[in-house]
Amino acid sequence: MPYDLSKPLVIGISSRALFDLEEENKIFEEEGLEAYIKYQINNELKVLQPGAGFELVKAFLRLNDLKPDSRLVEVIIMSRNSPDTSLRIFNSIEKYGLDITRAALTGGASAAPYLQSFYTDLFLSANIEDVQDAINNDVAAGLLLTNSAHPEKKNKVDQIRIAFDGDAVLFGAEAERIYQHAGIEAFKEHERSHANEPLSKGPFANFLTALSNIQSMFPDREDALIRTALVTSRNAPAHERAIKTLRAWNVRIDEAFFLGGVSKKEILDKFGAHIFFDDQHAHTDPAAEVVASAVVPYREGDNPLE
């Protein structure tokens, strides 16, 4: 029988998000495709260094050790590389002992059309076009900042720590739109008056639910396998609606920080996130100095600034 990808958590990741391919990407941008192909083939046996998403993937794959008869996570390479230039990627995967055996190699075309075919729950890429296409097709996706810090020195690799912004990431963008167009006081009053009305689901709501489902499989573990945090610029009185929304969704969030304009960077550093998702570069760019960070673009037509 064919392997059913609808059951495990499926993470699609580009080769440049998994490995440090910035030098190779520079060759592609400055010298063209043929120079890139030649470089990759000539360096086929040279192992790539870990990229911004490496530690997150490594930690997720370790979850499969807990249920050897039923895999919890599948990681699939979603790359614009051609089959001919992909051998260096697979050689590096083998060298690091990563349990990744599947790939979609699109030879320069967008990988986004194939995400739903692989039942992808999360897509990480350094290509904004692919990430935007994924978001537009209801797949949780983030533009991984390739200069992001590697959190391997801060985390136990066997506990996955993921931090999310609220509006336009876990939640829809409607409240953010009120803030952008009417100001902070109108936003606070709207959220106060709608505190008992759950916010709509944002692009990462289903991914958070999937994480919560995995957490519920191991309720008796002393150390949680996955620890999540909401790190938002909301503060009182807008905090109440966010909390009640998560309660209505029946999902677990382990920590919450309602910062009201305070920098997120220091909080994320102490939390030790494997990755942080936010819709604004104003938050992800400084955060990337201390934790791996990914920008979540607005779905086409949902930009609250428009």
The closest of 170, 160, 169 to 271, measured between CA atoms, is: 160
The closest of 111, 85, 91, 89 to 20, measured between CA atoms, is: 89
The closest of 12, 27, 15 to 60, measured between CA atoms, is: 12
57 by DSSP, 3-state: which? helix
Q: Which residues of 249-271 are buried (b: 16+ CB within 10 A; e: fewer)?
A: bebbbeebbbeeeeebbebbbeb
165 is catalytic: yes
The one catalytic residue among 165, 278, 279, 302: 165
231 by DSSP, 3-state: which? strand
Q: Are 165 and 283 in contact (CB under 8 A)?
A: yes
Nearest-angstrom CA–CA distance, 21 and 29? 12
Q: Which residues are catalytic?
A: 165
